[in-house]
Each structure stands twice: as C-alpha cells, then as structure tokens.
Amino acid sequence: MSMLSPEETSRLSSAESLFPSPIPVQSVSSDEFMPGPQTPRQREFEQRVKEMGAQTAKRLGISRRRFFQTAAGMATAFLAMNDTYGPLFGVSRAEAQTPEQADERAGKLSGQFIMDMHTHFLRPGTRLQGFVNQRKAVGKAGWNPGLVDKEQTIDDLMFTNYIKEIYLDSDTKVACISGAPSEIPDDWFLTNEMKAQARAAVNGLAGTKRMFSHAIFTPGYPGWMDQIDHALADLKPDSMKGYTIGDNTHKDLSKHPWRLDDEKLVYPAYEKFLKAGIRNVCIHKGLFPPSVEKQFPHLLQYSDVRDVGKAAKDWPQLNFIIYHGGYRWSGGGAVQDAWAQFEKTGRIEWVTDLAEIPAKYAVNNVYADVGQLFAQSTIADPRVAAVMMGQLIRGLGADHVCWGTDAIWTGSPQWQIEALRRLEIPAELQKKYGLAPLGPADGPVKTAIFGDNNARLYNYKPQQRSELATDKLAAYRELYDRHGAGRTNLAYGFALRDPA
C-alpha cells in the first residue's frame, strides 16, 4: 500500500534511479508526499557535476562513482552547485581536485558534534510497501544490477541501512528516531514501542547513549490519553511528538486534526508531560503547499504555525520544537514559488511567521528543527535555504535553531551536514534584509545548530559526548572508513519522472 494515489504513483520513479551525486540532483520524497519536479537549474547542476566528476576521476584513475564517494567528490559537487547557483558554498577548486586536501578538511571536521533529532526508518512488515515496490522496479529495469536477482523486502531499506547511513556514512554522533501516526494502526511508521526498542538496540550496541526516541501523541484518537500514560510510564520517551494535521500519511482519512493551543483537548496532555519530566514537545508543521491545500482545505489551519504562539505563552515550562521550521513549499510545492514570494514580500510561508513568534508573543521557548526545510531547499535553490536559516536565526536566535535532517529518506545525511558547513548567506542579501552571516563550519552559529542546542534541550552532558569517541560504534566507524565501500550516495523513495 502506498500513501499516494495510483495517478500520482504513475508519475514517479524510484529515487535510487537518480544519478548518485553526493548532493541529490532533484527533490526526493517518501511516499508520504509528492516530490517536486527537477528544476532547470537542477538539470544544469546534474550535467555539470557529471562532467566535473568524470574529468577528475579519469585523472585519478578511478571510476566516477568511486570518486563521488570521496571527500574530494563531495567538494566537487559543491563546486558544481556554486557554478550553477552562485557562490553560496565555501569550497575551492583545489579541494575538489586534490583528494589529500579534501581528506584533510574532512578529517578535521569529522569529530564535530552532530546531534540529529529528526530521523526515520520504517518497520518490518509495514503495509506501506511503496519503497519495496520501487526497489523491485529498479531491479527489473536493470538500473541497479545489485537488485536484479535479489528479492526486496522492507528490511533491506530500513533499520540495518539506517545504522549504516546515519552512524557510518555520516558524521552524525547522536540521533533521535521519530515516527508518524495514522488513523490506520498498521500504517504508523513505527509504534512507540518500536522506537523505544530501536533506542535500546542502538545504545546497547554502542555502549553509550547514541540514540533518543520520541513517543507520538495523537489528540482526539480513541484512548489517546491512556496511550500517553503508557508511553510515559513504560517507554520513558526522551520527548513527545505530535502531528497537528492528524493523519499526515492519509490526509483523506484525517479525522482528528488539532491545535497546539486547544485548552480543553490538548492542555491536559501538557500537564502529563511536565509531571513526567518531559519538556520537549516536537511538532510537525508545514509541507502543505497550495496544491495540497486545494485537496484538503480544511487542514490548512492545522498545518501552519498560527497556534504556536499562544501555546508557548501559556506553557513557558515546555519547549515547542517546530519540525521543518514550518516550511510550506515542500511536499509537492515549488522552491521557485518560495523565492518569488520572498522577492516580493521579504517573507517565506510559514518560516517567517515562526521566526516572528518570540517578538510577537514575548516567549523564548519556541525552536525550529530544520528538517525538510533545509533538505529540500538546499538542493533546489540554496538561496532560499540561506535566507530561511538567516530569518530563523534573526527571529528565534542562533541558540533556538536545531539540527534535524529527516533522514534516511534522502539517503545518508552527510550531504546535508556538508551543505550547512559550507553555506553562507550572500553579502547582498545579508545587507538588504538585515541577516547575520552564518560563519565558518566550526564557528559559533553552526556549532550551536549542529549539536549544542539539541544537547542543551535534551540535557546531553559533556561527559556523554566524550564517551562517544571510544565506544563500539566509533570502533566500527574506524573499521568501516578503512575497509568499507563508502557512501552509496543513493536516495530512497520517489522522484518525479521527467515528462520528456
């Protein structure tokens, strides 16, 4: 079962069929929402990165695919991004063409503390078979020879691959496993119990605290308060997560949308969280462009951030962490529309609205987890990513913008890590819109976003950080770097097929 209609599915191809650039060549989605089309500039980037990679790989005497698994290959991709979009990423031609220089830089930054509190995988036996069916199609078409004679199951894509791509293929040190609810019990990404089990498995493997887990709460669902009691008492989640849209997986079935500031329905749940010592309330917002609004207009008021300010004002003891930063223009939207809106008004729905909440409501407990805001805009128009990061920092503060990637839908999050490390707001945009520079990869702003802010929110202590360098996962990572095949640079899920 897919979350997309047969008509929508007919327009898609497997994301694994895309050219495996270190930076995705077009937008990718899970089957939770439609991906955006490849833009003209993305096509330009794809052609450019192919040519640049082939030239350097030939000079080095290795295959292009192997070259793109190296640090120099990653640098080449960002150089191609600069040549396509303008100088937004800090990278030199020397780094892109000299593996030793690229390796030196990557080595210096590999120990950076990255705490990604927004990650996913799907459970074995899920009815959401879109990923598996697409992998079968990839093998049948011969795009990926490794899949031709191999029976595909959800296990090939999920937990084992999650461990590889989060902890071995990226510089991520700590992650939070998240989920999504549904009116159909079998269509939850993971049950709350499964998330707690995954946390126990990873932390048991590592011997340190490498993983956190959410518990999903579902206001209005039958027995939802009892489920909160069970989760808090028996599963001990690190934070709670909710979808105000209700069932985001099957929007046509969503019968229980809700508002953060619903005093009668939701405020009693907040009381339970605080009594149990939970202060972090993570909320899915955004990813609801006009095309989706036309299908589900009644859900618009639950998808934007209009309910955040009052809830934050009424509950100063809680931290409201807004996932995707409220970014509207993903999930079937177009980054060009976001940029056009910004050029006309200086605003981007609903990111600018979120950034203005602290000043408007005199609160300091609203945070943005960047999620798909960063993942989708960076590869479609990095100017949009840079501006949104600048607005969030200006409005919320650099200490209230948090790292989350929504991986592993777009493969290993290393490309997102490198994108933020290298990204800078163009000087003319800084001056015109009063945005502060993002600074160097290991500067105070990016250091805060990558890990310090999440560590403070989740009380992750310096001693716990220091233990990571010598735990079992660190040992596995060292062996993997020495003997492993490297990143596949594959993405998982769906890409919009070129009509041509």
Q: Where are the domains of the chain?
A: 6-111, 115-468
When pLDDT is cut at 50, 70 and 90, the band that residue 9 belongs to is low
**Residue 10, pLDDT score:** 64
The better pLDDT of the pair 142, 198 is held by: 198
Q: Exposed, middle or buried: residue 410 (CB in 10 Å: 0-12, 13-18, 19+)?
A: buried
Report the pLDDT averaged over residues 273-277: 98
Instruction: State yes or no: pLDDT of 227 exceeds 50.
Output: yes
In tens, the pLDDT along 230-258 reads: 999 999 999 999 999 999 989 999 999 99
Q: Please provide the average confidence, as pLDDT, over all residues in the chain.
A: 89
Instruction: State yes or no: pLDDT of 146 exceeds 70.
Output: no
> Is the separation of the CB atoms in 342 and 387 below 8 Å?
yes
Which run of H or of E encompasses 280? strand 280-284
**Residue 491, pLDDT score:** 63
Scanning the structure block, which residue is given the tokens 């980037």?
A: 45
CA 109 to each of CA 71, 171, 327, 385, 418: distance values in angstroms, whole numbers, following the listed order:
11, 8, 29, 22, 10
Q: Exposed, middle or buried: residue 108 (CB in 10 Å: 0-12, 13-18, 19+)?
A: exposed
In tens, the pLDDT along 92-141 reads: 999 999 999 999 999 999 999 999 999 988 766 555 545 444 444 444 44
The better pLDDT of the pair 11, 479 is held by: 479
**Residue 12, pLDDT score:** 67
- Would you give the end-to-end CA distance of the chain in angstroms? 28
Give the range among 139-148, 153-162, 468-477 with minimum mean pLDDT.
Answer: 139-148
In tens, the pLDDT along 335-355 reads: 999 999 999 999 999 999 999
Q: Exposed, middle or buried: residue 125 (CB in 10 Å: 0-12, 13-18, 19+)?
A: exposed
Question: Could you tell me where the beta strands, DSSP code E, fall in 330-451?
Answer: 366-369, 401-402
When pLDDT is cut at 50, 70 and 90, the band that residue 15 belongs to is low
Question: What distance in Å separates the CA atoms of residue 302 and residue 262, rounded to the nearest whole number?
Answer: 11
Give the range among 49-53, 63-67, 237-241, 484-488 with minimum mean pLDDT.
Answer: 484-488
Tell me which CATH code domain 115-468 carries: 3.20.20.140
When pLDDT is cut at 50, 70 and 90, the band that residue 152 belongs to is very low
**Residue 498, pLDDT score:** 66
When pLDDT is cut at 50, 70 and 90, the band that residue 370 belongs to is very high
> Is the separation of the CB atoms in 450 and 422 below 8 Å?
no
Scanning the structure block, which residue is given the tokens 């927004």?
A: 118
